[in-house]
Structure 1
Amino acid sequence: MEILLIGHGESEADILGVHEGRADFPLTEVRESQAIKMADYVTANFPPDMIISSPLRRAKLTAFILQEKTGCELKMDDDLMEFNNGVLAGLAKEKALITYPMPKGGRPIHEPIQGGESELDFRFRSEKVLNKLIYDYKVYKRIAVISHGGLISNLLKGFLNQPNNTCNAFVTGDTGMHLLEIKEGLRIVKFLNNQIHLKWGPLSN
């Protein structure tokens, strides 16, 4: 089976300079156009049999656009939501530095942010998602997963069996795509953070 991980486009939080995480901002108009180009490219080159998405608006709209192009089934999964950043959600980044400063040396991975989850909890949640994708959807040839940068980075760490305390991170640009394959027990990375669709073909109406 193949797993096509897709990040959502730019949201209004990026323009406003606030922490996003669980704050539920929509896509900007420009990034909605990018999602359309992504959907055109995926439909032509990597059409999925199933789409699974985070229910947060910025991901959900991206998923709806892809579903409209492909016509396949779409499911929402709360476990695909971004890191639960608790008190920081929607808070201006400058204000957050003053009100909720990062502890010296950083926050231990097992310690949750106020009102949110810990990095360790986040990693465990992503491992749960990865196992659901591999085992619950193994009857599909290819599934598309629409999520967020932090969750996708953790999914890739889990797919590559990296430890919980790894300092590695995987970047996902606006509507960036990562294609993974599981074949005869092997875990294969076909490409990472592919954004070729942003230069591919005309915008759809």
Structure 2
Amino acid sequence: MELLIVRHGQSEADLLGVHEGRADFPLTKLGEQQARKMAAYVSEHLPPDIILASPLLRARSTAEMLQELMGCDLFLENDLMEFNNGVLAGLSREEASMKYPLPPKGRPIHIAIEQGESELDLRFRAEKIFHKIILDYQSYNRVAIVSHGGLISQFIKAFLKQPNSSEYVFATGDTGIHLLEIKENARIIRFLNKLEHL
């Protein structure tokens, strides 16, 4: 089973300099172009059998462009949404730092942001959706997953069986592609954050 993981294209929040998270911004024109290039590349070189996506607009729109070329089923999975940043969603970074300053040593991993989730909650959610996918969709050879940078990083940690306190971060550019493979006795990283389609 292969897991083809894709981040959404550029969103309007990227240009506005705000905390995005659960704020539901659409793709920019550039983001739409990135998504179309990704879809063309994936459909030619790594066609999926099924697509799973976050329901947030920027990810769903990216997934729909891939589905248009592939014609396969697309299902929305709430657990593929980005980190629930609660009260920070949509706020400028300046306003957020004044209204909701971080504690001097940062927010502990188990403490949730107001009206949101903790880093530990995000990791457990990534573990949950990872295990759901490899169980519920194991009959498919290649599953495409369209999600967000923070969730994708935690998803890769789940794939690698890293501890909850792991400090490693797996960065993903706009429409960056990762390919992971699960065999009976091995978990294989084929590549991470491929951007050659752009």
Q: Does TM-score exceed 0.5, indicating one fold?
A: yes
Q: Measure the CA separation in 2 of the matches of 1:39 and 1:110.
A: 37
Q: CA deviation at 1:31?
A: 1.2
Provide the residue aligned with 1:76 in structure 2: 76
Q: Measure the CA separation in 2 of the matches of 1:116 and 1:31.
A: 26
Provide the residue aligned with 2:26 in structure 1: 26
Q: Measure the CA separation in 2 of the matches of 1:104 and 1:168.
A: 22
Provide the residue aligned with 1:155 in structure 2: 155
Q: Measure the CA separation in 2 of the matches of 1:125 and 1:118.
A: 11
Provide the residue aligned with 1:98 in structure 2: 98
Q: Measure the CA separation in 1 of the matches of 2:124 and 2:60.
A: 23
Number of residues of Structure 1 aligned to a counterpart in Structure 2? 198
| Farther-moved stretch of structure 1 (184-193 vs 147-156) | 184-193
Q: TM-score, normalised by structure 2?
A: 0.99
SS at match of 1:191: strand
**1:26-55 residue CA offsets vs partner (Å, 9 max, x unmatched):** 000011011000000000000000000000
Consecutive unaligned residues in structure 2, runs of 5 or more: none
Provide the residue aligned with 2:168 in structure 1: 168
Consecutive unaligned residues in structure 1, runs of 5 or more: 199-205
- Identical amino acids, percent of aligned pairs: 62
Q: Measure the CA separation in 1 of the matches of 2:52 and 2:187.
A: 20
Q: TM-score, normalised by structure 1?
A: 0.96
Extract structure 1 runs of 4+ deviating beyond 2 A: none
Q: Measure the CA separation in 1 of the matches of 2:133 and 2:170.
A: 19
Q: CA RMSD in A?
A: 0.5
Provide the residue aligned with 1:178 in structure 2: 178
